[in-house]
Amino acid sequence: MTTITLETPVTGKYEQPVGLFINNEFIKGKKGQEFEVINPTNEKVICKVHEALEEDVDIAVAAARKAFASGSEYRTMSTARRGKLLLDLADLFEKNIDTLAAIESLDNGKSITMAKGDVGACIGCLRYYGGWADKIHGKVITTAEGTFAYTKREAVGVCGQIIPWNFPLLMWAWKIGPAIACGCTVVLKTAEQTPLSGLYAAKLCKEAGFPPGVVNVISGFGKTAGAAIANHMDIDKVAFTGSTLVGRSILKASASSNLKKVTLELGGKSPNIVFEDADIDEAISWVNFGIFYNHGQCCCAGSRIYVQESIYDEFVKKFKERAQKNVVGDPFHKDTFQGPQVSQLQYDRIMDYIKIGKDEGATIETGGERHGDVGYFIQPTIFSNVNHDMKIMQEEIFGPVCAIAKFKDIDDVLNIGNDSTYGLAAAVHTKNLNTAIKVSDGLKAGTVWVNQYNMLHWSLPFGGFRQSGIGRELGKAALENYTQIKTVSINMKGALF
Ligand code: ADP
């Protein structure tokens, strides 16, 4: 079976595709293998999905290549029509918002309110890129009389896209939107922990009228299906979101296969800086959201919190009170802010970091323990008395755990804030415009928020400095990932000699 009936508290019974979505059909893998999908809230098996192995990746790539061939329905479609595919897909996301959000809560464990927010952001993103499809063009460049030269932005071709489990549907939309706007075809691999929403969204692609082979969505593991994409000789570009470790292996695979273009959106250890002149209650609300949103499972999570020394004690006291009010529990309950971590593995990694923090001598202000008896729940955890060189201040934990330290002045906080191998995001809280601009200028990060946190938007480029990535997603910037420039230069003045 490639479609099964599942049930959620929001949707009641619904039809969930579980096959590999290739050529607009849900099919079984060649070897017939399946793997289990676990509900992180109760640790029980939700269902099994079909697993893509290397030979299935080959089949999906062949489908994407055929759809990309010149003369195909997709390649001969007007750019406006291609944009309309994304707009229609966005409409279908809107129509199915409750189901999509419920699948996300079931499979990932994020609260239904946050999941709906994710689907809303998917809709915005798909519409934004739908609008771009007929606005991507080159330039006429004058060099000398008698020469006519112009550039075109041509689609890169068949794109492999590998996405993580923390925002399964949003990462799907961030990847598919710009790829289709630019006229590429796609083989997208979801994360093995969270394959369900991506498959449901694939079904909606067919309903929106995408020609077969344009979007292929496969479930599978990183070491097999993911590596097969990264090493494939007939994939022109890979877009990856995930850990820095795997990002490195993707770049190596490109280098040792066909030098496919690579964009990487990787980890972070982002500083969130609070100056003494900030509105302390507002700042605490953003700092709380900065680290505990999505259970801390955000590449841009504000996990290093720096507070100016004169307000440090008051800040720690109030922040602790605020964090203790975060409702942790059943993702389907309307008041829940924080659900379970995505898997046993992630739960164990985070609890290990909490132990390391204690052993290193940091103080737990709140949290530090499992929440409840069942499910991968961890209490929101705040460490104080943290030294800059402690592991919990240096390494990405990817959970509801943060470290707070004091700073003296702008120079001091820029020094410690920038002392990291990462550079994805940062934030500064202050009422002083000069401070905001000076600190934003000085921070080595792809995004700096002022008096807010985690406020991503589809029209704003997002990506990392340093080891947080290569390239930018979202905004007009993402179009560069999926097009390549062709220069055409025409001689209009006859022979050279
Ligand atoms: P995390 O540690 O948060 O699970 P990963 O970077 O391991 O993050 O995973 C992100 C995505 O990368 C997932 O879709 C995963 O299957 C995939 N992946 C993992 N290892 C590899 C690999 N060696 N090659 C390609 N993709 C991989």
- The verdict on residue 279 lying in a domain is yes
For residues 170 and 125, membership in a common domain is answered with yes
- Decide: helix, strand or coil at residue 365: strand
Output the pLDDT for position 11. 95
For residues 16 and 139, membership in a common domain is answered with yes
For residues 223 and 336, membership in a common domain is answered with no
pLDDT tens digits, one per residue of 239-293: 999 999 999 999 999 999 999 999 999 999 999 999 999 999 999 999 999 999 9
Residue 192 CB–ligand 1 contact under 6 Å: yes
Residue 168 CB–ligand 1 contact under 6 Å: no
For residues 262 and 279, membership in a common domain is answered with no
Q: What DSSP letter does each residue of 425-481 carry, written as one string?
A: EEEEE-S-HHHHHHHHHH---SEEEES--S---TTS-B--SGGGEES-BSTGGGHHH
Residue 72 CB–ligand 1 contact under 6 Å: no
- Decide: helix, strand or coil at residue 485: strand
Output the pLDDT for position 39. 98
* Average pLDDT of span 315-320: 98
Distance between Cα 333 and ligand 1 center (Å): 30
Residue nearest to atom 21 of ligand 1 (CA): 222
- The verdict on residue 463 lying in a domain is no
494 confidence band (pLDDT: 50, 70, 90) = very high
- The verdict on residue 491 lying in a domain is no
For residues 28 and 108, membership in a common domain is answered with yes
Q: How many CA atoms lie within 13 A of 367 on its CB side?
A: 31
Residue whose CB lies within 8 A of the most ligand 1 atoms, among 161, 165, 194, 246, for a mutation test: 246
* Average pLDDT of span 413-436: 98
330 confidence band (pLDDT: 50, 70, 90) = very high
pLDDT above 90 as % of the chain: 99
For residues 172 and 91, membership in a common domain is answered with yes
pTM of the model: 0.98
* Average pLDDT of span 361-382: 98
- Identity at 181, one-letter amino acid code: A
Residue 224 CB–ligand 1 contact under 6 Å: no
Distance between Cα 35 and ligand 1 center (Å): 16
- The verdict on residue 317 lying in a domain is yes
- Residue 282 is among the residues annotated as catalytic for this protein: no
- The verdict on residue 497 lying in a domain is no
For residues 262 and 410, membership in a common domain is answered with no
For residues 383 and 437, membership in a common domain is answered with yes
Q: Which domain holds residue 416?
A: 271-457
For residues 345 and 376, membership in a common domain is answered with yes
pLDDT tens digits, one per residue of 39-97: 999 999 999 999 999 999 999 999 999 999 999 999 999 999 999 999 999 999 999 99
For residues 357 and 226, membership in a common domain is answered with no
* Average pLDDT of span 124-148: 97
Nearest Cα to 439, choosing from 426, 454, 422?
426
**Encoded tokens for 183:** 């006229």
Output the pLDDT for position 130. 98
Q: How many domains does the chain have?
A: 2
Output the pLDDT for position 325. 98
Residue whose CB lies within 8 A of the most ligand 1 atoms, among 51, 54, 107, 162, for a mutation test: 162
Among the listed residues 51, 104, 192, 265, the single catalytic one is 265
- The verdict on residue 493 lying in a domain is no
- Identity at 199, one-letter amino acid code: L
28 confidence band (pLDDT: 50, 70, 90) = very high
Measured CA to CA, the distance from residue 419 to residue 17 in angstroms comes to 46
pLDDT tens digits, one per residue of 139-198: 999 999 999 999 999 999 999 999 999 999 999 999 999 999 999 999 999 999 999 999
Which ligand 1 atom is at minimum distance from the Cα of 192? 16
Which CATH number do you get for residue 186? 3.40.605.10
- The verdict on residue 494 lying in a domain is no
Q: Give burial (CB, 10 Å; 0-12/13-18/19+) of 425.
A: buried
Which CATH number do you get for residue 364? 3.40.309.10
Category of 420 on φ-ψ map: left (φ > 0), alpha (ψ -120 to 50) or beta: beta
Output the pLDDT for position 373. 96
Q: Strand locations in 89-241, DSSP E?
A: 140-141, 147-155, 158-162, 185-189, 215-218, 237-241
For residues 40 and 90, membership in a common domain is answered with yes
- Decide: helix, strand or coil at residue 384: strand
Contact 390, 437 (CB under 8 A): no
* Average pLDDT of span 436-451: 98
Output the pLDDT for position 68. 98
Which ligand 1 atom is at minimum distance from the Cα of 189? 14
Give CA separation, 294 vs 94, 121, 199, 392, 401, in Å: 22, 14, 22, 19, 12
